[in-house]
Amino acid sequence: MTTSSNAPLFPSPANAPLRVAVLTGSTREGRFGPVVTDWFLRFAAQRGDLELDPIDLAEHALPHVASAEPHPEAAAVTARLEAADAFVVITPEYNHSFPGPLKNAIDLHFTQWQAKPVGFVSYGGLGGGLRAVEQLRLVFAELHAVTMRDSVSFHMAWENFAEDGSLLRPDIPEGAGKGMLDQLTWWGRTLRAGRSHAAYGAR
């Protein structure tokens, strides 16, 4: 696990946009994840209170180890997670769980997740990736992160998008997305204020 100070790299004033790191968790060849991520980034960018930082794990060769020492290969991702006020994880469901590379990226870090909120956008078949989200909630709870109650899920995901990546039936996912982002923003600002007042003490 990579450890670091709980102090943010770039302290944010209370009214600054919330920095949201958006993680694409699938790295498989032919994955559907970028379609979902691109939609989410377009949707979330309509808000004026968020600063989005997309992190596609397929573009980062993270080491497949977890220890108490920093990992130089992960330094760029580590710095971006450290600077984030909040996270949104885009994940499919693989065998009733979430992708191994996503777990590896989570396990390589520790304090970067602490006292920050996490939202989810999941996709899959009939289950819509919801079982992956339920397992991720347990993982992030162990890391002292706060997961949003509401999430966005795409059931039979490939049937939800047109060829240009737009949604065929936007009402439900956009409504769910607004609810999740409203919660994420409230928690993000509240926890950012708390971290600026005092370092989070859990180890």
* Residue 8 in domain: no
Looking at residue 69, its pLDDT comes to: 67
Residue 1's pLDDT band (cuts 50, 70, 90): very low
In a domain, 83, yes or no: yes
Domain region containing 123: 18-26+34-197
Establish if 63 belongs to a structural domain.
Answer: yes
Give tens-digit pLDDT for 116-165. 999 999 999 999 999 999 999 999 999 999 999 999 999 999 999 999 99
Does residue 11 lie in a domain region?
no
Least Cα distance to 83 among 116, 128, 121, 127 occurs for 116
Amino acid identity, position 151: S
Please say if the pLDDT value at position 63 is more than 70.
yes
Q: What is the CATH number of the domain that holds 184?
A: 3.40.50.360
In a domain, 1, yes or no: no
d(CA 118, CA 85): 10
Please check the confidence at residue 12 and state whether its pLDDT lies above 60: no
Does residue 48 belong to any structural domain of this protein? Answer: yes
Contact 13, 46 (CB under 8 A): no
Determine, yes or no, domain membership for 9. Answer: no
- Which residues have a Cβ under 8 Å from the Cβ of 95 and sit 6 or more positions away? none
Say if 42 falls within a structural domain: yes
Domain count, the chain: 1
